[in-house]
Structure formats: structure tokens, C-alpha cells
Amino acid sequence: MTDTPMTDNEIWEAARSFHERMVDEIKNPGDMLGVAAVITTNLLVAGVMAGLDPEMVPILLDSIQSDVFNAIKALSPPDGNSNSIQ
């Protein structure tokens, strides 16, 4: 382990790799969402315990919410029916 911060590409690659491992182990999307929520919570707690300003937690959560909504919008078909995604 190193104290050198990861580059943006390294972060994206690590996230992709982690996601692929989760998909291999957890087949139910609801279960995967639960695992991701627990991991996110634990990482935020660890960050605050390591010195992250607790006021950053809602800012980070708002950023996640915005990213989710933007991804849904980008992935949704023009007719707005997300059930029709192939």
C-alpha cells in the first residue's frame, strides 16, 4: 500500500475491477445495492475518522445523487420508458 494518490484512470480501473468482482459474487441486483450502501457508509465513516470534515458527507452524498440521476437520464431511451432499455 502506498500514500501516493491514484490517478483518475487508476480510480476508474479499480472501480471497474471491484464492480466486476461484485457482479461475479452477488447475482441479485438488490443485494448488490445493499452491499454497495454498506461499503459506502463504512468508507464515509472511515474518512471522517481519518480527518474528513463531517460537513463533506452531505456534499458527497448529493454528488452521488446527481451522478445517479444524470446516468439514468443518459441511459434512458428518448420516450422516457426506462423499462424499454434493452
Spell out the domain ranges in the chain. 7-52, 54-86
Look up residue 46 and give its DSSP letter. Answer: H
How confident is the model over 20-39, as a mean pLDDT? 93
3-state helix, strand, coil in the chain (%, to 5): 70, 0, 30
Q: What is the pLDDT of residues 41-71, one digit of tens each?
A: 999 999 999 999 999 999 999 999 999 999 9
Q: For residues 35 and 43, is the Cβ–Cβ distance under 8 A?
A: no
Confidence of residue 2 (pLDDT cuts 50, 70, 90): low
**Cβ proximity of 32 and 26 under 8 Å:** yes
User: Over the stretch 38-49, which tens digit does the pLDDT of each residue have?
Assistant: 999 999 999 999
Choose among 44, 38, 74, 42: nearest CA to 59: 44
